[in-house]
């Protein structure tokens, strides 16, 4: 797997009304991947049917035409800002053609609505931004919509929840192609522009991995279910009957990061989910996510995401008629 020689083309499609942040996530993440030998395995091509395309805020020109997505290995479909607008039939046609020629296709956020309209999700599981999962499920009864996951992997067709989950999904694809180490390094290198509130910070690298090791996978699932409990290294080691030393080594080789870092990131991840989709106050969220004190929670949250929990909550959610709680 480390010796991938052929260039892998990632086509990012854009269209009128696209959420540019979703598209940027894919461009930034894939273009930053570097293998140990220094080789960049992905070529990112932004493609559109018409040019220039109009977003809600500005116009942009994509350097490639839609016909090019048929020769891509991966096609990324970012979200439209308005899910009630009919997607461009031309785009749907090209997505089907790309699928037929073997490309894997992934949507970010409300991009799932476009995949759904193209028929590619029929009979499959899918997810989208939490505020419109109901809408998706109602409009497409033949799709099994799961509102409780970050992303869904159907082998060749992928969907992801909010913007954060879009990063997770990109890293998941990178991990499938090049392994955990490369994906973890990419996450570390990816300096995302959360320009709204703060400067540039490291982003989180997390989500469920590709571990063939069964005991290891169940440990990660166990962590997920026990985020609010004590998750010291000793506890984790006991859980799988390993010494702390061996556990630490296994973690590094399978996930690219040490155990405590993993746990922290999962806790931050979970707290983000609560901030995005619940009305719990910061103290409650800190406790639910397993932080000893809300002061510590605020501190860690800011260190990792670059913004405070409350401004994170304020800056999330998409434009939609749906009510928030």
Partner DNA sequence: CGCGCAAACCGCCATG
Partner DNA sequence: TACATGGCGGTTTGCG
| 3-class secondary-structure state, position 43 | strand
Q: Does 31 bind DNA (CB under 7 A)?
A: no
Q: Hey, which residues between 140 and 179 contact DNA (CB under 7 A)?
A: none
Does 248 help bind DNA (rule: CB under 7 A)? yes
Contact 92, 145 (CB under 8 A): no
Q: What separation in angstroms does the CA of 18 have from each of 61, 116, 136, 154, 275?
A: 13, 16, 18, 24, 25
In 190-243, which ranges are continuous DSSP H helix?
214-225, 233-239
Least gap, CB of 263 to DNA (angstroms) = 8
How far apart are CB 20 and DNA at their closest, in Å? 33
111 binds DNA (CB under 7 A): no
How many residues can be counted in the chain? 325
Q: Are 111 and 78 spatial neighbours (Cβ–Cβ below 8 Å)?
A: yes
What contacts 145, CB < 8 A, 6 or more positions away? 125, 126, 127, 128, 133, 136, 137
Cα angle 192, 87, 21; round to 5: 10
Choose, by CB under 7 A, the member of 51, 54, 101, 246 that binds DNA.
246
| Residue 305 binds to DNA (criterion: CB under 7 A) | no
Of these, 92, 189, 260, 287, which contacts DNA (CB under 7 A)?
260
In the chain, the N- to C-terminal Cα span, in Å, equals: 46
By CB under 7 A, name the one of 243, 278, 315, 321 that touches DNA: 243
94 vs 250 by CB, closer to DNA = 250
> C-beta of 184: minimal distance to DNA in Å?
12
Is residue 254 a contact residue for DNA (CB under 7 A)? no
- Note whether 290 and 229 are within 8 A (CB): yes
Q: Is 322 left (phi over 0), alpha (psi -120 to 50) or beta?
A: beta
- 192: which strand partners? 201
Site size toward DNA (CB under 7 A) is: 23
Binding mask 200-239 for DNA (x = CB under 7 A): --------------------------------xxx-----
63 binds DNA (CB under 7 A): no
x/- binding map, residues 276-295, to DNA, per CB under 7 A?
Answer: ----------------xx-x
Of the candidate residues 300, 307, 316, 318, the single one contacting DNA (CB under 7 A): 300
Choose which of 61, 85, 196, 245 interacts with DNA (CB under 7 A). 245
* Cβ 6 vs Cβ 68: under 8 Å: no
Nearest CA among 112, 139, 110, 111 for reference residue 125: 112
Please identify, using beta-carbon distances, which residue of 293 and 315 lies nearer to DNA.
293
- The distance of closest approach from Cβ of residue 206 to DNA in the complex, given in angstroms and rounded to an integer, is 14
> For DNA, which residue of 281, 284, 296, 315 counts as binding (CB under 7 A)?
296
Interface of this chain with DNA, residues 113 to 142, rule: CB under 7 A: none
The nearest distance, CB 27 to DNA, in angstroms, is 30
In sequence order, what are the residues at sequence separation of 6 or more whose Cβ sits closer than 8 angstroms to the Cβ of residue 11? 45, 46, 47, 64, 68, 69, 72, 74, 75, 76, 98, 103
Which chain residues interact with DNA by CB under 7 A?
232-234, 242-246, 248-250, 252, 258-261, 264, 292-293, 295-296, 299-300
């Amino acid at each position: 797997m480390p010796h991938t020689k052929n260039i892998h083309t990632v086509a990012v499609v854009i269209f009128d009304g696209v959420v540019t942040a979703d598209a940027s996530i894919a461009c930034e993440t894939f273009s930053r991947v570097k293998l140990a030998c220094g080789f960049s395995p992905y070529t990112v091509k932004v493609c559109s049917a018409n040019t220039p395309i109009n977003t809600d805020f500005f116009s942009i020109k994509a350097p490639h035409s839609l016909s090019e997505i048929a020769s891509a290995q991966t096609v990324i479909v970012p979200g439209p800002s308005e899910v009630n607008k009919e997607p461009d039939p031309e785009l749907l046609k090209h997505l089907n053609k790309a699928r037929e020629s073997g490309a894997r296709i992934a949507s970010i956020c409300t991009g799932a609505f476009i995949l759904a309209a193209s028929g590619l999700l029929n009979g499959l599981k899918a997810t989208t931004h939490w505020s419109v999962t109901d809408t998706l499920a109602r409009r497409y009864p033949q799709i099994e919509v799961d509102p409780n996951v970050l992303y869904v992997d159907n082998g060749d067709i992928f969907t992801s929840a909010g913007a954060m989950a879009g990063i997770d999904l990109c890293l998941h694809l990178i991990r499938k192609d090049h392994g955990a180490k490369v994906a973890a390094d990419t996450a570390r290198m990816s300096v995302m522009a959360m320009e709204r509130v703060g400067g540039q910070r490291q982003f989180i690298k997390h989500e469920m991995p590709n571990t063939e090791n069964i005991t290891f996978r169940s440990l990660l699932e166990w962590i997920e279910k026990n985020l609010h409990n004590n998750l010291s290294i000793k506890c984790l080691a006991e859980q799988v009957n390993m010494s702390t030393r061996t556990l630490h080594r296994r973690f590094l080789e399978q996930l690219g990061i040490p155990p405590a870092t993993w746990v922290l990131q999962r806790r931050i991840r979970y707290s983000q989910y609560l901030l995005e989709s619940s009305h719990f106050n910061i103290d409650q969220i800190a406790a639910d996510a397993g932080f000893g004190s809300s002061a510590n929670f605020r501190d860690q949250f800011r260190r990792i995401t670059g913004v405070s929990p409350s401004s994170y909550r304020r800056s999330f959610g998409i434009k939609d008629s749906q009510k928030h709680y």
